[in-house]
Amino acid sequence: MTSPGGAARYLVLAGGLSHERDVSLKSGRRVADALKHEGVDAVVRDADAGLLAHLSDTRYDAAVVALHGGAGEDGALREVLDLVGLPYVGSAPEACRAAWDKPTAKSLARRAGLLTPDSVVLPHAAFRELGAAAVLDRLVQRLGLPLMVKPARGGSALGCSAVDKAEDLPAAMVQCFSYGEAALVEQFVEGTEVAVTVVDTGDGPRALPAVEVRPLSGVYDYAARYTAGSTEYFAPARLSDDVAASVAAFAVAAHTALGLRDLSRADLIVDADGRAHLLEVNVAPGMTETSLLPMAVDAAGLSFGSLLRELLEQAAAR
């Protein structure tokens, strides 16, 4: 799909109807501003009911999907872009579906020999029909305490809770089910939380410097992510050279194991022995002023806008 006049024109898709709409709109504006700073023609548009009509009337060379949550990360929107023949930055639908579903992503990671916290997946129906108290008792016996409870699908830590006491588990499950039909309950791994961005501009996937996340509350939940002053960030992360190298290799291995393309962000816990444990992999990472991917780009000494332009040009050439 070539824009008229020869000058490249790119589309930034943001917004959508997920719980993460506001964050997505901020990401979209940040992406467009960074591209315009590079002299690139970029248009931000909501992914709504008028999108297909718009794409029929307006031609773009490629798109950036800056939607978070289901529409941006479960592969559905990318399926539609494939249908209309508009190339885009990022992973293909099938790989997105694998990464979006955390239990599937964890299984693929384990198959590749990567560590990930032991966990149990509980659909809401099973939790309700089998008796909540009995199920939770067995869950604590199996995994121990503390635990992390999170939706099996979802982003921005919405519906996530850390549980130190068994009596707090029912409330955490109820909160989790308000954001999805299945809960992923994981062993809580003590350590340093880091986010590692992986990019591939044509020479194979490479990891950018890890960003260390230190939430003052102890848990990197939605409030810690988006409330100013509630989290400290260190870019690059305060890791030894050996651990930093192993964490980078781990993130690239996760990117490869899930069949991802162009860019991703792996969220990890590094334990006291320097071993990385995979929490999740994001195919549409946040790109706001306080997001982890732009921090990693800055730590690598790269230009955010230049990197985006390079990824768009690569997508347009596919």
Note whether 11 and 86 are within 8 A (CB). yes
Of residues 76, 82, 80, 68, the one with CA closest to residue 14: 68
Q: Hey, what amino acid is at 118?
A: D
Is residue 267 annotated as a catalytic residue, yes or no?
Answer: yes
pLDDT band at 157 (very low <50, low <70, confident <90, very high): confident
Instruction: Provide the pLDDT for residue 6.
Output: 65
Instruction: Give residue limits of the domains in the chain.
Output: 9-89, 97-115+190-302, 119-187
Q: Which of 52-61, 100-109, 214-223 has the lowest mean pLDDT?
A: 214-223
Architecture of the domain defined by 119-187:
2-Layer Sandwich (3.30)
Cβ neighbors of 167 (< 8 A, separation 6 or more) are none
Catalytic residue from among 226, 261, 262, 305? 226
**If you average pLDDT over residues 190-200, what whole number do you get?**
97
Instruction: Provide the pLDDT for residue 2.
Output: 47
- Cis peptide, bond prior to residue 215, ω within 30 of zero: no
Residue 43 has pLDDT above 70, yes or no: yes
Is residue 271 annotated as a catalytic residue, yes or no?
Answer: no
Note whether 268 and 250 are within 8 A (CB). yes
How far apart CA 298 and CA 236 sit, in angstroms, is 9
Catalytic residue from among 61, 193, 262, 267? 267
Is residue 61 annotated as a catalytic residue, yes or no?
Answer: no
The angle, 0 to 180 degrees and rounded to 10, between the axes of the packed helices 292-299 and 304-316 is 100
Note whether 73 and 66 are within 8 A (CB). no
pLDDT band at 226 (very low <50, low <70, confident <90, very high): low
Catalytic residue from among 280, 291, 305, 309? 280
Catalytic residue from among 156, 161, 264, 291? 156
Residue 4 has pLDDT above 60, yes or no: no
**If you average pLDDT over residues 80-101, what whole number do you get?**
97
pLDDT band at 175 (very low <50, low <70, confident <90, very high): very high
Length of the chain: 318
Is residue 156 annotated as a catalytic residue, yes or no?
Answer: yes
Is residue 204 annotated as a catalytic residue, yes or no?
Answer: no
How far apart CA 300 and CA 31 sit, in angstroms, is 18
Mean residue pLDDT of the chain comes to 92
Phi, then psi, of 115 in degrees rounded to 5 = -75, 140
Instruction: Provide the pLDDT for residue 1.
Output: 44
Instruction: Provide the pLDDT for residue 111.
Output: 98
Tens-place pLDDT, residues 261-279: 999 999 999 999 999 999 9
Instruction: Report domain 9-89's class.
Output: alpha beta
Note whether 191 and 270 are within 8 A (CB). yes
pLDDT band at 229 (very low <50, low <70, confident <90, very high): confident
Catalytic residue from among 78, 225, 265, 309? 265
Note the helical H segments in 113-163: 124-129, 132-143
Is residue 226 annotated as a catalytic residue, yes or no?
Answer: yes
Instruction: Provide the pLDDT for residue 93.
Output: 97
Kindly report whether the global pTM for this prediction surpasses the value 0.75.
Answer: yes
Is residue 72 annotated as a catalytic residue, yes or no?
Answer: no
Catalytic residue from among 282, 291, 305, 309? 282
Catalytic residue from among 286, 291, 305, 309? 286
Share above pLDDT 90 across residues of the chain, in percent, rounded to a whole number: 80
Is residue 75 annotated as a catalytic residue, yes or no?
Answer: no
Identical fold at 9-89 and 97-115+190-302?
A: no
CA distances from 184 to 95, 125, 179, 245 (A): 20, 14, 12, 29
Instruction: Provide the pLDDT for residue 149.
Output: 96
For the domain made up of 97-115+190-302, give the CATH fold.
D-amino Acid Aminotransferase; Chain A, domain 1 (3.30.470)
How far apart CA 309 and CA 318 sit, in angstroms, is 15
Instruction: Provide the pLDDT for residue 7.
Output: 84
